[in-house]
Structure 1
Amino acid sequence: MAKTALVLRATGAQGVGVTKALLKASWTVHALVRDPEDGRALALKNIGATLKQGDLSEPSSIEAAIQGCNALFLNQMPTPKDGAEAAEAAAIIDIANKAGVKHVVHSTTLPLNDPNVKEHLKGQSLAFAILGKGDVEDLVRASGLTWTIIRPGFFNTNFIAPLVGKMFPDLLQGKFINSYGPDKPLPLVDPDDIGAFVAAAFQDPERFAGKIVNVVSEFEPVPYIIDEIEKASGKKVEVHYRTDEENEEEGKKNVMVAGQKTTVGLERFVDMDEVRSWGIPLTTLGEFLKKHKDAVVP
């Protein structure tokens, strides 16, 4: 059987991880990129990916990129426009079916493990980013394709350049301001581990068919995270935990603060023994930071 996969949003953290893992497993990868001349896209080309210019909002570009593919990595950005993410996914799934794709792996988000997620997110500014992915999960299940759903944790790439400037801008000046608290374990994941799980699913569709797979490399609290950043950077980091009042005020105007609150407590819904049972090696934060030492701040 031909082993050719279309990887959507290929220059993102997950897309890069998936592309690398599939190429390592001797797959042909069609990498959908907006700008084939962008440095991130060229890096994928240099390791063997076939670049396909396009955008998820342009069905004709998806149709062209998916030709010859029997697998699809479906990975979307959330959008606040009601129903937009599901509509985009429905169009992509329809194209995949018509093109003869057999297996779709869809990456969503860990908070969907919470059976009461809709109630807990009611009125929160970030609800669309999680519930929209739940709507797409429903479409994937009903697609008629062999499907696997991946629910990853909090990306370790958020702690290093360039994303750290958006996620934790104060860390650039040596201060980590957060809403997690000192004792709440966070679901950390190396995007390369996500790639390894996706590649494994495509390699063994019978084992992964119809499965919802949590992908978390480890659960660790803020003091552990800061200790690993300090060791990697060689510099001290000041930590500030927002008060309830600060969380309430900042959360109204900063979606990143609101997002931090949704990351707390997810250990209740993940069985790490089950994650390990897939037999895929998991990367610690320390190992991740060592791989990306040049991007560690402060």
Structure 2
Amino acid sequence: MSPLTAPPSMSGLSAVVTGGSRGLGLLMARQLAAQNCTVTIVARDGEELKRAEELLHQRPGAHIRTAVCDVRDREAVREMFDATAQYCGGIDVVIANAGIIQVAPVKSIGADEFDAAMDTIFHGALHTSLEALPHLRRSRAGGRLALIGSVGGLLGVPHLLPYSCAKSAVGALAEGLYAEAAPDGVTVTAVHPGLMRTGSHLHAEFGGPQRQEFAWFSALAGTPLVSMDAGRAAKAIVRGVQRRRTRIVLTPAARAAGFAHGVAPALTTRLTALSARALPAADGDGGALREGASVEPPSHPVARKLRAWGSALNDRAARAYNQRAA
């Protein structure tokens, strides 16, 4: 039986998740472990990986490994995959998830922020893909590769432009690799999630009027009708990879935005420009970006209450998904 038509079981397979120490990556690793995979979680922060390993081992029988690796360094990625393949007897499933989020008006940032986003998000996905593919081609189960893009890669999102540009490149990479890897028995899945309650606002970087940027981003990402429960998202992604789907777009809002941009890109761009007027105005010439965990809450009482209300679920997710130290 061809690997591409085999039943979609992943029991006993070796899986690698980059950006696997917290948030969505941690939850996808948990789902893979529940499928009885041996899961290697990869991240730059060794202490964060230790905490993630402890969380994942709370599930009886979970087979978890950790690897400290910076996906911006292709040689380090190659060494990580070689060591993982040697230890696990091969690699069958790879999910490229590592990334950063920068939230700021374009007036408050420069080319360096775009370079940083491309280095981590796009080059991280590229290095992961190029170094994983030789191992995935050797998988007797038929290799599976998934690249985590975003609805921000389907259309340009104001105040998230470096992120949108890098995620757009990831989406193009996934589609091209799907076409070229298929003859080798490897499937590639492009994943485009919308907003999810992962607690990522604490590690996102904010520029310009940082308090206001943090307030709208954390509140919107935590609003139930707009954002998606991260556990459900992780389950849907792993199920899609298991079934070798070509493309996954999560949340109704993300599907609607992607469809609208595909059908009427000019109109969608004009509507996006209108929505941008509701976002905070640029504050001076900008400065160093600050991580969300260090940004003070808005000073205005009403804004403070709205932020607290909107991001309550996101703050809870941050505690549950290893977004903050114990």
Aligned residue among 68, 73, 97 for 1:75: 97
Aligned residue among 210, 213, 221 for 2:248: 213
Quick one: which amino acid aligns to residue 136 of structure 1?
A: L
Asked whether 1:143 is paired with 2:181, we answer yes
The count of residues paired between Structure 1 and Structure 2 equals 231
Query: Structure 1 pair 180/28, CA: closer, same or farther in 2 (3 Å)?
Result: closer
Shift of 1:13: 0.9
Shift of 1:165: 9.0
Gaps of 5+ in 1: 220-241, 258-284
Shift of 1:290: 9.9
TM-score (norm: length of structure 2): 0.54
Asked whether 1:154 is paired with 2:195, we answer yes
Quick one: which amino acid aligns to residue 174 of structure 2?
A: E
Query: Structure 1 pair 256/214, CA: closer, same or farther in 2 (3 Å)?
Result: farther
Shift of 1:185: 10
Query: Structure 1 pair 245/148, CA: closer, same or farther in 2 (3 Å)?
Result: closer
Instruction: Spell out the pairing of 1:192-207 with structure 2 (5 A cutoff).
Output: 192-205=231-244
1:49-96 CA distance string (max 9 Å, x none):
421323122111122224422111122325445773464244334344
What is the RMSD computed on CA atoms of the aligned residues? 4.6
Quick one: which amino acid aligns to residue 230 of structure 2?
A: P
Q: Which stretch of the first structure deviates more once superposed, 123-132 or 63-72?
A: 123-132
Q: Secondary structure at the match of 2:98?
A: coil
Instruction: Spell out the pairing of 1:38-187 with structure 2 (5 A cutoff).
Output: 38-47=50-59, 48-55=62-69, 56=71, 57=73, 58=76, 59-66=78-85, 67=88, 68-77=90-99, 79-81=116-118, 84-85=123-124, 87-100=126-139, 102-114=143-155, 117=156, 124-141=161-178, 142-144=180-182, 145-158=186-199, 162-163=202-203, 170=211, 176-177=215-216, 187=226
Quick one: which amino acid aligns to residue 250 of structure 2?
A: V
Query: Structure 1 pair 42/152, CA: closer, same or farther in 2 (3 Å)?
Result: same
Asked whether 1:189 is paired with 2:228, we answer yes
Query: Does structure 1 conserve the Cα–Cα contact (< 8 Å) formed by 2:153 and 2:165?
Result: no
TM-score (norm: length of structure 1): 0.58
Q: Secondary structure at the match of 1:38?
A: helix
Distance 2:19 2:318 in 1: 25
Query: Does structure 1 conserve the Cα–Cα contact (< 8 Å) formed by 2:23 and 2:198?
Result: yes
Query: Structure 1 pair 99/251, CA: closer, same or farther in 2 (3 Å)?
Result: farther
Query: Does structure 2 conserve the Cα–Cα contact (< 8 Å) formed by 1:8 and 1:73?
Result: yes
Query: Does structure 2 conserve the Cα–Cα contact (< 8 Å) formed by 1:157 and 1:163?
Result: no
Distance 1:254 1:245 in 2: 22
Query: Structure 1 pair 250/153, CA: closer, same or farther in 2 (3 Å)?
Result: farther
Identity over the aligned pairs, expressed in percent?
Answer: 12
Query: Structure 1 pair 38/148, CA: closer, same or farther in 2 (3 Å)?
Result: same
1:4-25 CA distance string (max 9 Å, x none):
3212221131111101112223
Gaps of 5+ in 2: 1-8, 101-115, 255-274, 291-309, 321-326
Aligned residue among 16, 23, 28 for 2:33: 23
Quick one: which amino acid aligns to residue 39 of structure 1?
A: R
Quick one: which amino acid aligns to residue 31 of structure 2?
A: A
Q: Secondary structure at the match of 1:213?
A: strand
Q: Secondary structure at the match of 2:198?
A: helix
Query: Structure 1 pair 39/139, CA: closer, same or farther in 2 (3 Å)?
Result: same
Distance 1:251 1:8 in 2: 36
Distance 2:96 2:204 in 1: 25
Query: Does structure 1 conserve the Cα–Cα contact (< 8 Å) formed by 2:28 and 2:234?
Result: yes
Query: Structure 1 pair 147/287, CA: closer, same or farther in 2 (3 Å)?
Result: farther
